Structure 1
Amino acid sequence: MNKQEIVGNIAAKSGLTKKDVEKVLSQFFDEVSNALANGDKVQFVGFGTFETRKRAARTGRNPQTGKEITIPETVVPAFRPGNKLKEAVK
């Protein structure tokens, strides 16, 4: 399922226009992204938690040359599902 399919489904079930749903969904993504960029967690009880995690520096290998390279520490987004979501997927 992609973004347009989600927008269409929400619009059909809520009675809102696709344009309005698109605005709300885009703003939602922006808010989650901004919160994660600031180091905050975004929690939806029962659904899950969006958070950031530090990935430690490590040694990798260039596949073309075989030369070892150092991959620096980085911060990555992560999602941890909640109990209701886990149960719905079973």
Structure 2
Amino acid sequence: MNRKELISAIATKAGVTQTDADAVLNAFQDVVFDVVAKGDDKLTLPGFLSFEQGSRSAREGRNPATGETIQIAASKTAKVTAGSKLKAAAAG
């Protein structure tokens, strides 16, 4: 399902226009981006998904082409975790 199909499905289920559904989806996306970018909070939709900022510490790696040891810098990541109801839906 692509974005256009998702907006259409949301509009149909909610009984709103596709324009309104698109605006809500954009607002949701902006809120998730803000929460992950700030990193001091976690957005949780119980049973569905949670979004938060994760971090990876600096570590030593290896260049697969040369076998040379390299240093990999610390970095920030986006962490998305599936909730129990979503996991149950995937399991059948």
Other-structure match for 2:89? 88
The Cα shift of 1:70 comes to 2.1
Matches within 5 A, 1:29-48: 29-39=29-39, 40-48=41-49
Other-structure match for 1:3? 3
Name the SS of the counterpart of 2:5 in structure 1.
helix
Other-structure match for 1:27? 27
RMSD between aligned residues:
1.6
TM-score (norm 1): 0.85
Other-structure match for 1:55? 56
Name the SS of the counterpart of 2:87 in structure 1.
helix
CA distance in 2 between counterparts of 1:78 and 1:44 reads 14
TM-score (norm 2): 0.84
Runs of 4+ in 1 over 6 A off after TM superposition: none
Uncovered stretches (5+) of structure 1, i.e. residues with no partner: none
Q: Which digits, 9 at most, give the CA deviation of each residue in 1:36-57, with x for residues without a partner?
A: 1111100011112111111111
CA distance in 1 between counterparts of 2:43 and 2:58 reads 26
Count of aligned positions: 90
Uncovered stretches (5+) of structure 2, i.e. residues with no partner: none
Name the SS of the counterpart of 1:36 in structure 2.
helix
Name the SS of the counterpart of 2:47 in structure 1.
coil
